[in-house]
């Protein structure tokens, strides 16, 4: 299994027979090298979205049409794009599980907000969500944008993920200390990878507090376009 950070909350996940682009914000992303776009999306089989905000979904439609691949995510947004944009979609909802080329992806709650830009302001884009991604005898918890939630209790106990990809930049989501607290209290991770940080000065610039808050857990600070073998 190979995970490659695309900056902010974007990842390229190679798992089972799938190459999944998670929240691929590439165009205008200040930490992504634009000249390496083709490398980042090459061979992708699916796009997986946690919510509609532009720093997560801005490139989804363009890539989906360019590569002729489906976008998976909350039913409301996917159904809307299928109708208005003509894309292929995998729309589902919290508690549902879909098979993406062998990767079993279960939608779980998050606590944030979700909208896309419309001509007269923000437009409702369905619920914000996270995912449990199971494949190659591992389970990954992708938190999406969220704060600490009591739902993490049952999510950790039921799905038992060993890897956590956690938003941790603060201001819009959990910060590093909160992410460490959530990981300690609700999960038993062996590996944690922070995201939604370093993109702007407003967000955390390093994961020191997360590392210090999770003794005994491997905390990997990702580098853009440097693959991580899991």
Q: Where are the domains of the chain?
A: 2-229
Residue 114 pLDDT? 97
Do 221 and 165 contact (CB within 8 A), yes or no?
no
Give the pLDDT band (50/70/90) at residue 69: very high
Q: Which residues pair with 133 in a beta bridge?
A: 105, 140
pLDDT single digits (tens) 146-199: 999 999 999 999 999 999 999 999 999 999 999 999 999 999 999 999 999 999
- Enumerate residues 6+ apart whose C-beta is below 8 A from 84: none
Do 57 and 39 contact (CB within 8 A), yes or no?
no
Do 63 and 111 contact (CB within 8 A), yes or no?
no
Separation CA 162–CA 189 (nearest Å) = 4
Quote the mean pLDDT of the chain. Answer: 97
Whole-model pTM: value is: 0.97
Give the pLDDT band (50/70/90) at residue 141: very high
- Architecture in CATH of 2-229: 4-Layer Sandwich (3.60)
Mean pLDDT of the 96-122 span: 96
Residue 118 pLDDT? 87
pLDDT single digits (tens) 112-133: 999 999 889 998 999 999 999 9
**Angle, to 10 degrees, between the axis of helix 75-85 and the axis of helix 60-67?**
60
Between β-strands 191-195 and 218-219, what pairing exists: parallel, antiparallel or unpaired?
parallel
Residue 6 pLDDT? 98
Burial (CB count <10 Å: 0-12, 13-18, 19+), residue 28: exposed
Do 20 and 103 contact (CB within 8 A), yes or no?
yes
């Amino acid at each position: 299994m190979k995970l490659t950070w695309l900056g902010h909350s974007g990842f390229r996940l190679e798992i089972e027979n799938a190459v999944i682009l998670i929240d691929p914000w590439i165009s205008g992303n200040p930490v992504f090298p634009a000249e390496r776009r083709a490398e980042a999306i090459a061979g992708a089989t699916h796009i997986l979205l946690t919510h509609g905000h532009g720093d997560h979904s801005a490139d989804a439609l363009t890539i989906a049409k360019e590569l002729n691949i489906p976008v998976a995510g909350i039913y409301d947004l996917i159904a809307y794009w299928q109708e208005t944009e003509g894309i292929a979609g995998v729309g589902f909802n919290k508690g549902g599980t879909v098979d993406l080329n062998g990767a079993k992806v279960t939608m779980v709650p998050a606590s944030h907000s979700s909208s896309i830009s419309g001509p007269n302001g923000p437009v409702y884009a369905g619920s914000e969500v996270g995912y449990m991604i199971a494949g190659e005898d591992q389970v990954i918890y992708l938190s999406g944008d969220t704060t600490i939630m009591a739902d993490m209790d049952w999510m950790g106990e039921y799905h038992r993920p060993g890897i956590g990809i956690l938003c941790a930049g603060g201001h819009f989501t959990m910060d590093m200390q909160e992410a460490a607290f959530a990981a300690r209290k609700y999960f038993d991770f062996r590996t944690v990878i922070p995201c939604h940080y370093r993109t702007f000065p407003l967000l955390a610039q390093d994961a020191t507090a997360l590392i210090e808050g999770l003794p005994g857990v491997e905390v990997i600070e990702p580098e853009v376009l440097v693959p991580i073998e899991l």
